Chains A and B, each alone.
Chain A
Amino acid sequence: MTGININKNSVILAVLVVLLLLLPMVVTKPYYLHVIIICLLWAYLASCWNIIGGFAGQLSLGHGIYTAIGAYITVILFNTFGLSPWLGLFVGGGAAILLSLMIGYPTFGLRGAYYALATVAISEGIVVLLNNTGSIGRFTVGGAEGLIVKSVGSSAAAFQFNSKIPYYYIVLIMLFLIIFIAKWIKESKLGYYLVALREDEDAAAAMGINVRHNKLIAGAISAFFTALGGVFYAMLIRYLEPNAIAGASMSTQMVFLAIVGGSGTVLGPVIGGILLALISEIIRFYLGGQLMGLHLFIYGMIVLLMIIYQPRGIIELFEKIGRRFSRKHNDEGGRSGAEDPSGA
């Protein structure tokens, strides 16, 4: 790794950040901005899942329950007491942490598949509960008809804006935050523990790592930030429907995006999230109104082919290109052997 290389990367990064910050000036149509916001939200959610699913290798297939619990608690508190969603999101996030500990404690002691199956069953159960709970006491949950966020017009304190632009910047900050946290975890002691227990749980335990404890921490971090994603979704769409926010499509989508992008890496889920969500929106836009099921069929085929031909994720392609580029660059400069430092 050379000084020149680091500078080159930070220049690329800086340019990228500036471009992202200026984007709403170029993209003025609300629909296009909405699509971009959704893509960034998926990148964010895939990154949240990646902390437990990628770093720790614990396959959670029910992360929709965390988006749901964050969204529902925040919205219910806002609708009933007028509590600002900015404060409510901490309550929702805290509840998500509690839920993740309740699910994780009994299942993390077992082999991975039990955790995966338990998360599926629990999330299906919660979807049924949400669909059939009209209200709890004075709190309106909405049941199958869904829950509408009380509209107060454009108000920053209430997390409601008429323009899409504030949402864009909020989701951008959330995405940067989760990338920063993922990078921090990966380079911290916790990150090394997680990789160790992902690769070989028995060996990790033999080395003195408290396997269950570290899984629970990773699960709680992941749950908290996933819940924040749910809150953002709720305030963006302003309508909660149990199947959409907690259902299997929400849960599996996060996993698809992270794995197709490259699970266990910092930037893989971000790339996978943005690319795949964009592809999905484009297909839906052009084919959605035509033959029923066609756009999801194509989407499924893309995921299928990507898993078969690029099982380590799209990030590997990027790394390869990056390596080739830097090798060429170094050969020209008379140096060789420098690894690509951006390899997230």
Chain B
Amino acid sequence: MGFLSVVANGLSMGAIYGLIALGLTLIFGIMKIINFAQGALLMLSMMISYWLWAATGLSPYVLIIIVAPIMFVVGYLCERVLIKPVLDAQKDVREPVSVLLLTAALAIVLENLALMVFGADYVMAKTSFSDVTLAFGPVTVSAARFYGLIIALVVAGLFYLFLMYSQTGRNLRATGQDRNAASLMGIDITRTYAIAFGIGTALLSVAAVALIPFYYIHPSVGQVFMTKAFIVVVLGGLGSVPGALLGGIIIGLIESIAAQYMTATLTVILVYAVFLLVLFTKPSGIFGSPYEW
């Protein structure tokens, strides 16, 4: 594989990492909660997408229209039913640690539920383009990865526009900057929190449909992506939207380029090493400011 092809593969995987990290960074930026269920919710999205794909035979990408609203509702309800009561009980606490643990417990519940319902088998959506490779001059890239890259970039762009220019987006940003001031301006904080969690989860459904044509699905698939998403958000700056995408792409590129020169294990170690390097030298990440929140 030529160097440019390696770069293209890294870009596509990186953009998907970025998309997953985007949900994480959004929920953190607004609610100050690290969502440990992010990986498990990704797994759930992948399972639902796979199911729908197997049942309908439609292109996985078309399924976004169905899966994204489902995941939005799942996220919205998670916030309302599980997180809000705990947040309310801990109003006087600065960093709601219990909520974080709650999401971790939710992850255990979801993963084992999937294990009970689907079993431990590995499945993948074998679509018509799963084995197709596209060639752009000297660059060859797998079709599924290429489409994944396009979808991830388009959705990230749309999400950015939504956050910057829609009224809901403004509400979200205002709540993230100063919850009390936003509340005084008439923003319904309870609703905004639920929406933030819903959108953060819906973004995962996009990553899920982009992944299923070329990535195996199993009950603990989320764990792999969650650790990556953590690294990505610290790299890009916790709470920063462009940081999440850029951080994801950096990690994707490091992985695919390093894999050409060293063993898979060393590649993983290298990713952690880069993470530590950033943490030690510029701990607030590329776009983040440690004192924003």
Please indicate whether A and B come from the same complex rather than being unrelated chains. yes
Q: Which residues from chain A sit less than 8 Å from chain B, CB to CB?
A: 53, 57, 59, 106-107, 109-114, 116-118, 120-122, 124-125, 128-129, 131-132, 199-200, 248, 252, 255-256, 259, 263, 291-294, 296-297, 299-301, 303-304, 307-308, 311-312
Task: From B115-123, B141-149, B160-168, give the one contacting chain A.
Answer: B115-123
Given A128-B272, A293-B219, A297-B112, A117 contacting B102 (CB threshold 8 A) = no
Interface-forming stretch among B42-50, B66-74, B190-198, B226-234?
B226-234
Contact B112 A57 (CB under 8 A): no
**A residues less than 8 Å from B100 (CB atoms):** 59, 116
> Of the candidates B34, B89, B223, which one forms a contact with A113 in the assembled complex, judged by CB atoms under 8 Å apart?
B34
Name the A residues within 8 Å of B219 (CB-CB): 293
Given contacts A128-B272, A300-B108, contact A57 B97 (CB under 8 A): yes
Chain A residue contacts of B94, Cβ below 8 A: 199-200
Given that A57-B95, A112-B95 are contacting pairs, would A308 and B34 also be in contact in the complex, using a CB cutoff of 8 Å? no
- State the CA gap A226–B189 with chains docked (Å): 40
Q: Which residue of B89, B104, B113 is within 8 Å of A297 (Cβ)? A: B113
Given A116-B100, A259-B98, A303-B108, does the pair A311, B238 have CB atoms closer than 8 Å?
A: no
CB-CB contacts of B104-148 with A at 8 A, as 1s and 0s?
A: 111011011111100110000000000000000000000000000
Complex interface: chain A residues within 8 A of B181 (CB)? none
Contact assessment for B102 and A308 in the assembled complex, using a CB-CB cutoff below 8 Å: yes
Interface centre among A110, A129, A199 (most CB of B within 10 A): A110
Residues of chain A within 8 A (CB-CB) of B102 are 304, 307-308
Q: Is the interface of A mostly helix, strand, loop or mixed?
A: helix
Q: Which of B28, B108, B230 is most buried by chain A, counting CB atoms within 10 A of its CB?
A: B108
In the complex, what distance in Å separates the CA atom of A263 from the CA atom of B223? 26
Residues of A within 8 A of B275 (CB): 121, 125
> Considering the chains assembled together, what is the distance between the CA atoms of A294 and B108 in angstroms?
11
Beta-carbon contacts under 8 Å, B246-293 to A = 265, 268-269, 272-273, 275-276, 279-280, 283-284, 290, 293
9 nearest A-B pairs in the assembled complex, by CB-CB distance: A293-B115, A125-B272, A300-B108, A293-B112, A300-B109, A297-B112, A303-B105, A296-B112, A132-B265
- List the A side residues contacting B238 at CB < 8 Å: 113-114, 117
Contact check, A248 vs B223: say whether CB atoms are below 8 A apart: yes
Question: Out of A128, A304, A307, A308, which one reaches B268, CB within 8 Å?
Answer: A128
Q: Is the CB of B234 within 8 A of A128?
A: no
Least Cβ distance of A100 to chain B in Å?
A: 15
Using A293-B112, A294-B116 as known contacts, list a sample of 19 further A-B pairs with CB atoms less than 8 Å apart, ordered by residue number in A: A57-B97, A59-B100, A106-B283, A113-B32, A117-B238, A256-B101, A263-B97, A292-B116, A293-B113, A293-B219, A296-B112, A297-B108, A297-B115, A299-B108, A300-B105, A303-B105, A307-B98, A308-B82, A311-B90
Nearest CB on A from B269, distance (A) = 6
User: Does B85 have its Cβ within 8 Å of any Cβ on chain A?
Assistant: yes
**A59 surroundings in chain B (CB, below 8 A):** 95, 97, 100
Interface of B is mostly: helix
Q: In the complex, what residues of A have CB within 8 A of residue B111's CB?
A: 293, 296
Whether A124 pairs with B283 at a CB distance below 8 angstroms is no
The verdict on B86 contacting chain A, using a C-beta distance below 8 Å, is yes
How large, as a class, is the contact surface on chain B?
A: 35 or more
In the complex formed, the residue of A with least CB distance to B117 is: A293
Q: Which residues of chain B are near A122, meaning CB under 8 Å?
A: 272, 276
Bound-complex Cα distance A267 to B82 (A): 27
Judging by beta carbons under 8 Å apart, are B272 and A304 in contact?
no
Contact among B34, B86, B112, B280 with A294 in the assembled complex (CB-CB below 8 Å): B112
A308 touches B85 (CB 8 A): yes
Task: Determine the distance from Cα of A307 to Cα of B106 in the docked complex, in whole angstroms.
Answer: 11
Chain A CB within 10 A, most for which of B85, B89, B105, B233: B105
Inter-chain contact A111/B290, CB cutoff 8 Å: yes
Complex contact B230–A121 (CB within 8 A) = yes
* B residues in contact with A106, CB < 8 Å: 279-280, 283
User: Max chain A CB contacts within 10 Å: which of B82, B120, B272, B273?
Assistant: B272
Shortest beta-carbon distance, A256 to chain B, in Å?
Answer: 6
A37 CB to closest chain B CB (Å) equals 24
Interface centre among A116, A117, A199, A291 (most CB of B within 10 A): A117
A-B contact pairs, 21 of them (CB 8 A): A57-B97, A59-B100, A106-B279, A109-B283, A110-B283, A112-B95, A113-B32, A117-B233, A122-B272, A124-B272, A128-B269, A132-B265, A248-B223, A294-B116, A301-B109, A304-B106, A307-B86, A307-B101, A307-B102, A308-B86, A311-B90
